[in-house]
Amino acid sequence: MAAAIEGGAAERAGARILDGVELAEAIRERLAPRVEAFAGVAGRPPTLGLLLAGDDPGSEIYVRNKIRQSDALGIATDLRRLPATAPFRDALAIVEEFNAADAVDGILVQSPLPPGMGADAEARIFDAISPAKDVDGFSPVSAGRLVQNRTGLVPCTPAGVMALLDHAGIEISGRRAVVIGRSDIVGKPMALLLLHRHATVTICHSRTADLPRVAAAADILVAAIGRPALVTRDFVKPGATVIDVGINTLTERQQVVAIFGPGSRKLAAFERRGRVLAGDVHPDAAEVAGAITPVPGGVGPLTIAQLLSNTVRAAEERRRAGAG
């Protein structure tokens, strides 16, 4: 694994590295026969409808990767694009078309939607997605089911984190977990999944008093705030498992030097490419942690693997229910 990691927290690791690339590959391998079996009985592949509205560069990359990995596994995709100037009703019309289509099993509306669609556009579009096809797990029905620990489609990034913890044999029950970040997409569902596995969970956010002290009580610390290297070694209890959900792009050399140091591989990578990725966790945290995820190569690959998994599951369950 070390060769795939260009520094970051992992470069200084005394900690065990939790490899998301390898696990994502194993998840895809386990899905392949289910995709084949579904296609055999349904006469069509599991199918994911995607809506990409606007021209956010990050979203372009995410959607391209989702399509590429779906293709590789034999999942069909139907990508619809809208310009940043499109009205909200155009986005809604596409979701409604996907909802009604028998041959669409999963629906993914890439976030963020363009600001011109209105401040409440995302909530309204997630309201409109049929829960049976909600492979992102962002609809209020999916969120409510998760609160009540009932089966349903679970948001992909937190589901990926749970898969990684389980794969690594990290005990969850009875342990203290601290989640930094309270987004609907990661922080809240992450906290609920840990709670349902009997962790004692604290959710922290921008107004949490004495954040390092609260974080340092954690046996499992999840950083999902989108602030590069915020979580330094003083946030980490010795031996804790540290999960870095952050994917931040650094474009300032000075920032790369400040975080990773003048002789680091990250800086060398920055000199070649003019940008590098940084997580929410500072490299010095790896000197204290017992186990840690790298960025890239930790949680990121698992998010798409879980999306593929949710799509296959939605296809199977719709078929069992007599649809599709």
188 in catalytic set? no
Q: Quick check: 110 binds ligand GUN (CB under 6 A)?
A: yes
Number of residues that bind ligand GUN (CB under 6 A): 9
Catalytic residue among 105, 134, 136, 284: 136
CB nearer to ligand GUN: give 110 or 241: 110
Rounded CA gap, 199 and 190, in Å?
11
Backbone φ and ψ for 144, nearest 5 degrees, come out as -65, -40
Binding mask 178-217 for ligand GUN (x = CB under 6 A): -------x--------------------------------
Catalytic residue among 66, 188, 237, 266: 66
Region of residue 74 (phi > 0: left; psi between -120 and 50: alpha; otherwise: beta): left
The answer to whether 84 and 117 are in contact (CB under 8 A) is no
Host H or E run for residue 257: helix 253-260
Among 136, 219, 280, 284, binds ligand GUN (CB under 6 A): 136
Catalytic residue among 105, 110, 237, 280: 110
66 in catalytic set? yes
The answer to whether 104 and 132 are in contact (CB under 8 A) is no
CB of 242 to ligand GUN, least distance (A): 21
CB of 155 to ligand GUN, least distance (A): 7
Among 53, 117, 156, 199, binds ligand GUN (CB under 6 A): 156
What part of residues 50-79 is at the interface with ligand GUN (CB under 6 A)? none
The answer to whether 63 and 304 are in contact (CB under 8 A) is no
Q: What residue has token string 């019309």? A: 93
CB nearer to ligand GUN: give 157 or 264: 157
CB nearer to ligand GUN: give 48 or 211: 48
Q: Which residue in 131, 185, 132, 184 sits closest to 156, CA to CA?
A: 185
CB of 304 to ligand GUN, least distance (A): 9
Candidates 107-115, 221-229, 232-240, 291-299; binding stretch for ligand GUN (CB under 6 A): 107-115
Among 18, 76, 95, 108, binds ligand GUN (CB under 6 A): 108
Q: Quick check: 232 binds ligand GUN (CB under 6 A)?
A: no
The answer to whether 290 and 280 are in contact (CB under 8 A) is no
What part of residues 302-321 is at the interface with ligand GUN (CB under 6 A)? 303
Rounded CA gap, 177 and 172, in Å?
8
115 prior amide bond cis, ω within 30: no
Amino acid making up residue 69: Q
DSSP 200-255: EEEEE-TT-TTHHHHHTT-SEEEE-S--TT-B-GGG--TT-EEEE---EEE--HHH
Which residue in the shown chain puts its C-beta closest to ligand GUN? 111
Among 5, 23, 104, 109, binds ligand GUN (CB under 6 A): 109
CB nearer to ligand GUN: give 156 or 222: 156
Among 65, 99, 111, 232, binds ligand GUN (CB under 6 A): 111
Rounded CA gap, 67 and 89, in Å?
25
The answer to whether 21 and 293 are in contact (CB under 8 A) is no
Chain residues binding ligand GUN by CB under 6 A are: 108-111, 136, 156-157, 185, 303
Known catalytic residues are 66, 110, 136
